[in-house]
Amino acid sequence: MSPPPGPIPSLETIRALLATRVIGATLHVHDEVDSTNRLAVDLAQAGTPDGTVVVAESQTAGRGRQGRQWFSPSGGNLYLSVILTGTNSPGIMTWIPLLASVAVVRAIQEVTGLSTRVKWPNDVLAYRDGHGRKVAGILAEATGGDPNDIRAIVVGIGINANMPLESFPEDLSPIATSLLIETEHPVDRIRLLATLLLEFEHLYAHLRTHGTAGIRESYLPLSDTLGKQVRIELVGGGQTEGTAEAIALDGALCLRAGDGTVVEIRAGDVVHLR
Ligand code: BT5
């Protein structure tokens, strides 16, 4: 495998490759930050325009969901946050990470040819030898505090692009992977970024014009969870098991329990059982 390419290119180089009109029209590129999401939340609160993007070469405190961490070394991955201020309808929050996961799957497919799938709600997995390994993670956060009065949504995306296996910490190497590991070729990160933002822009425009139905339609064939027997580890403790049967109109996962009842899950961690 080739060594990962060098540091993230300049703002001008990235801008020259972007074909988007809204997403990335305002662009911040940093070498090292604590978290692009943290920075993006601050920018959103200061009134940055819809579609502002923050990109960093590395993060010292990359965030996952529920206070978890995102391993974010320098040397060839993508860490970015997109700030959305143009949609604040109640219930939209569940769809934004799903939209982002569709954009990630499409961009990876287009740039590397690798097919990936989505573990509900938004873990992007690459499959090899019957095992799915996480190649990208998404974290959507709302600003404003009140779920009925969302001012902005910050969508953080981390993609392991050119990270070799030996760079993963021990606890991640069995469950995580990178595009380099899966395809055995280094990926042009900036092309990946530009493609991702373009896919994101198309889906976002569609969402704003036509609502969530189209996003749901795009998401369903990419879901690796539907039809599977799963265990859901619920936010705040507890767990439930059943068959992942459908995605509800608001993006919730519908789970059919052993007794035939259907439960709708809006937040939790899915473990695929079979
Ligand atoms: C996520 O959380 O998957 C959301 C990750 C979002 C990261 C982006 S990077 C840019 C932006 N700025 C931020 O600060 N964050 C966003 P969750 O589903 O909770 O998964 C976290 C779990 O994934 C961890 O507990 C580890 O098990 C695993 N993990 C951590 N780093 C990883 C990595 N680089 N690759 C694959 N898995 C990882």
Beta carbons of 112 and 185 less than 8 angstroms apart: yes
Ligand 1 neighbour 71 (Cβ under 6 A): yes
Ligand 1 neighbour 156 (Cβ under 6 A): yes
Task: Tell me the CATH number for domain 226-272.
Answer: 2.30.30.100
**Three-class SS state of 193:** helix
20 CA distance to ligand 1 centroid (A)? 26
Ligand 1 neighbour 268 (Cβ under 6 A): no
Which residue spans of the chain are classified as CATH 2.30.30.100? 226-272
45 CA distance to ligand 1 centroid (A)? 23
Q: Quick one: which atom of ligand 1 is closest to the CA of 63?
A: 14
Q: What is the pLDDT of residue 4?
A: 45
Ligand 1 neighbour 246 (Cβ under 6 A): no
C-alpha to C-alpha distance for 117 and 123, rounded to whole angstroms: 8
Per-residue pLDDT tens listing for the chain (274 residues): 444 455 667 788 888 899 999 999 999 999 999 999 999 999 999 999 999 999 999 999 999 998 999 999 998 899 999 999 987 776 788 889 999 999 999 999 999 999 999 998 889 999 998 899 999 999 999 887 666 667 899 999 999 999 999 999 999 999 999 999 999 999 999 999 999 999 999 999 999 888 888 899 999 999 999 999 999 998 888 899 999 999 988 888 999 998 999 999 988 889 988 7
Torsion, Cα 35 253 136 26, to 10 degrees, reads -50
17 CA distance to ligand 1 centroid (A)? 26
Take atom 19 of ligand 1 and give the residue whose Cα is closest.
65
> What class has domain 11-221?
alpha beta
Contacts of 1 (CB under 8 A, 6+ apart): 164, 180, 181, 184, 186
Which residue spans of the chain are classified as CATH 3.30.930.10? 11-221
- Which among 171, 172, 166 is positioned nearest to 137, based on CA atoms? 172
The owner of tokens 């395809």 is 183
Q: Which two tokens stand for residue 211?
A: 């609502």
Global pTM value: 0.94
Give 259: exposed, middle or buried? Use CB within 10 Å, 0-12, 13-18, 19+: exposed
131 CA distance to ligand 1 centroid (A)? 19
Q: What is the pLDDT of residue 6?
A: 55
Cis peptide upstream of residue 97 (ω within 30 degrees of 0): no
Q: Quick one: which atom of ligand 1 is closest to the CA of 70?
A: 31
Task: Outline where 18-154 has alpha helix (H).
Answer: 36-45, 92-112
Q: Quick one: which atom of ligand 1 is closest to the CA of 171?
A: 27
Distances (CA, A) of 253 to 126, 157, 215, 248: 21, 21, 15, 6
- Which among 97, 136, 87, 111 is positioned nearest to 219, based on CA atoms? 97
Q: Which two tokens stand for residue 104?
A: 């990630």
